[in-house]
Amino acid sequence: MFAGWDGPPPIGGTNTGEITLRDLLAWEPRLTLPGARTDLDRDVDWVVTARATPPMLPALRGGELILLPRRVFAEIGLPLPLLLNEVASQPVAGVVIDAPPPPNPPLPVLTIAAITPELESELNRLLTSRRGDLLRASNELERTVATLGAQEAGLAEIVSALAEPVDLPITVTMPTGAILVRSENATVVPPGDHPDPATGWLRFPLSGGRAIWLGPIPPDHQAIARLLGERLRDVLSGAVTRSVANRPRGLARAAQLNRLLLATTRDERERLAVDGIRLGLPATGRFRVGLSHVATPGVPIQGLLDPAGQVLEAETVDDLPAFVLLSGHSLAGRPAHTAVPAGWIALSAEITSPRELPAATRQARYIAALLAGGELTGTVVRFDDDLALGVWRFLYRFWGTPELDHYVAQFLGPLIGEDRHGTLRRTLLAYLASGGSPGETATRLGIHRNTLAYRLRHIRDLLPLDPDLPENRIALHLALLTAALPPAPASAAMVAPER
């Protein structure tokens, strides 16, 4: 009935992905797809119209979209389902009809109000125009890629340079789904499961379980997105290899790692994942940021904290030796107070991505400040050890915030103003800790009870609340502890605290 297939045995529409049925539906609003189909990624190479007289179609080479007017199959006198079964045996993209489609057709069937004599040429002109757009975009990409290759650009530079000209959101993820790098316009997190062009997501796998995600992409931009994704995959594979080969060592790595720990600006934080992996941090796994006050740093840290792990030195933070502990085992079940020669070690909670380095550094700085000020005791203290931190863990979220200063001013403002040497605050803290017992308070402070009575009268005159009332003691006790918090360094205060 139809002209012979001029090529290999027919197996259905081709799928090289240049222009697909999905693209054509997005570009040509007159075409509609009744129902749902999963095979819209067939290539559309050309459009031809079926005729009522033999040969009904020219010789086919694959990828044709067949226009099958109602008048044609009416003149032939065969039922539409039978004609569609015959067409489905050919390697065509699909069929366009201007009649109600039958249920469950064997190939994609698009509908249009009327198949006019001009429709074939109109659709072919559209395909030709869009192929020209893709060719120009491809040439521009090649020029950009050549420039990036000559500069041996890093991952972030490549993603930024290729995303901007075509305005496509690009995200590169790790095997765990964590974001490695993304373009500025990539504001939506990839779905993490199998991509679906119908929802606007395209995925291109990289080596080592990494992947490139483009999306969400509007339907009319998915053809250029596929072109970009394929080229981006080739370029980034080389960039990852170069990144590992050029990894810094020794003092250079320590200096660069220190900059990651103290990253505060948006641009610095966007580069954390890329630069962290380049410096030897794992893409997946567990690690902590630590600060030490130890007479003999380095070797004791390695042996005391995690013999199966690795310590990466990172210069100093707040004049304390800083490091990143790559954990071989979880420390959660290990004692918090391991013996450390002549000092202490402050550890953040475990993190699983270099993007979390600034937040982990802030945690370690908080613990270190409390240890240095005597508010915490211990030798190896972890931020995720709630029992060791007690109320200090709760107060962390307010460290360096205006809310903390406001709370202290409300409850202790006049007292602090009169108490230059902290005597009254220490007295009130001991009084509250003893449950309001004058005898126990005097014993704790090592003072005469008359001296205590004098101080308490002065304290009561300065406080807005009566410390002898049980309902006021918790608020005043918390205010005293809050006032004892060491000030947050400016760079630590700029990192969003854990909520």
315 in a domain, yes or no? yes
Structure-token pair, residue 12: 């259905």
- The rounded distance, in Å, linking the Cα atoms of 365 and 342 is 19
- The rounded distance, in Å, linking the Cα atoms of 110 and 463 is 80
Residue found by looking up tokens 């040497």 in the block: 421
* Residues 141 and 238 grouped into a single domain: yes
Domain CATH number, residue 453: 1.10.10.2840
Which of the listed ranges 29-38, 41-50, 210-219 does the model predict with the highest average pLDDT? 41-50
* Residues 410 and 484 grouped into a single domain: yes
Give me the residues paired with residue 111 across strands. 32, 97
Three-state SS string across 15-65, please?
CCCCCEHHHHHHHCCCCECCCCCCCCCCECCEEEECCCCCCCCCCECCCEE
Structure-token pair, residue 5: 């297939």
Domain-terminating residue out of 51, 86, 117:
117
Number of domains in the chain: 4
Structure-token pair, residue 433: 């800790």
The confidence band for 141, taking pLDDT boundaries of 50, 70 and 90, is confident
- The rounded distance, in Å, linking the Cα atoms of 290 and 383 is 10
How do beta strands 211-214 and 170-173 pair? Answer: antiparallel
- The rounded distance, in Å, linking the Cα atoms of 454 and 180 is 62
The confidence band for 273, taking pLDDT boundaries of 50, 70 and 90, is low
The confidence band for 299, taking pLDDT boundaries of 50, 70 and 90, is very low
**SS3 call for 237:** helix
CA distances from 152 to 147, 156, 204, 241 (A): 9, 12, 22, 11
* Residues 80 and 134 grouped into a single domain: no
Q: How many CB atoms lie within 10 A of CB 55?
A: 12
Cα radius of gyration rounded to whole Å, the chain: 35
| Residue at 376: amino acid letter | L
* Residues 283 and 372 grouped into a single domain: yes
Domain-terminating residue out of 350, 367, 389:
389
Closest Cα partner for 55 from 97, 100, 1? 1
How do beta strands 170-173 and 179-182 pair? Answer: antiparallel
Structure-token pair, residue 206: 């990289």
Residue found by looking up tokens 């201007």 in the block: 98
185 in a domain, yes or no? yes
The confidence band for 10, taking pLDDT boundaries of 50, 70 and 90, is very low
* Residues 179 and 240 grouped into a single domain: yes
263 in a domain, yes or no? no
Closest Cα partner for 321 from 279, 283, 362, 290? 290
What is the model's pTM? 0.56
User: Angle at CA 402, nearest 5°, toward 397 and 407?
Assistant: 85
Query: What is the share, in percent, of the chain residues with pLDDT greater than 70?
Result: 83
Q: How many CB atoms lie within 10 A of CB 94?
A: 25
What pLDDT, on the 0 to 100 scale, is given for residue 14?
A: 42
Mean pLDDT over 310-320 rounds to 88
Mean pLDDT over 291-300 rounds to 64
Structure-token pair, residue 158: 């490549």
* Residues 444 and 485 grouped into a single domain: yes
Mean pLDDT over 64-86 rounds to 89
The confidence band for 139, taking pLDDT boundaries of 50, 70 and 90, is confident
User: Angle at CA 223, nearest 5°, toward 16 and 22?
Assistant: 80
* 196: pLDDT strictly greater than 80: no
Length of the chain as a residue count: 499
* Residues 455 and 361 grouped into a single domain: no
4 in a domain, yes or no? no
Number of helices followed by number of strands (H, E) in the chain: 19, 13
- The rounded distance, in Å, linking the Cα atoms of 404 and 397 is 9
* 160: pLDDT strictly greater than 50: yes
271 in a domain, yes or no? no
Per the structure, the complete domain to which residue 159 belongs is given by 127-245
- The rounded distance, in Å, linking the Cα atoms of 61 and 45 is 9
Domain CATH number, residue 238: 3.30.450
Predicted confidence (pLDDT) per residue in 392-445, tens digit:
998 998 898 888 888 888 888 888 888 888 888 889 888 888 888 888 988 988
* Residues 427 and 474 grouped into a single domain: yes
Domain-terminating residue out of 117, 152, 181:
117
Q: How far apart are the first and last CA of the chain?
A: 71
Give residues with Cβ within 8 angstroms of 175, minimum separation 6.
Answer: 208, 209, 210, 283, 284
Domain CATH number, residue 95: 3.40.1390
- The rounded distance, in Å, linking the Cα atoms of 105 and 83 is 10
* Residues 381 and 471 grouped into a single domain: no
* 99: pLDDT strictly greater than 80: yes
* Residues 141 and 241 grouped into a single domain: yes
* Residues 349 and 380 grouped into a single domain: yes
What pLDDT, on the 0 to 100 scale, is given for residue 289?
A: 93
**Mean pLDDT rounded to a whole number for the chain:** 81
**SS3 call for 496:** coil
The answer to whether 262 and 232 are in contact (CB under 8 A) is no
The answer to whether 422 and 374 are in contact (CB under 8 A) is no
Q: How many CB atoms lie within 10 A of CB 422?
A: 12
* Residues 384 and 408 grouped into a single domain: no
122 in a domain, yes or no? no
451 in a domain, yes or no? yes
- The rounded distance, in Å, linking the Cα atoms of 364 and 368 is 6
97 in a domain, yes or no? yes
CA distances from 401 to 114, 372, 489, 492 (A): 67, 21, 11, 11
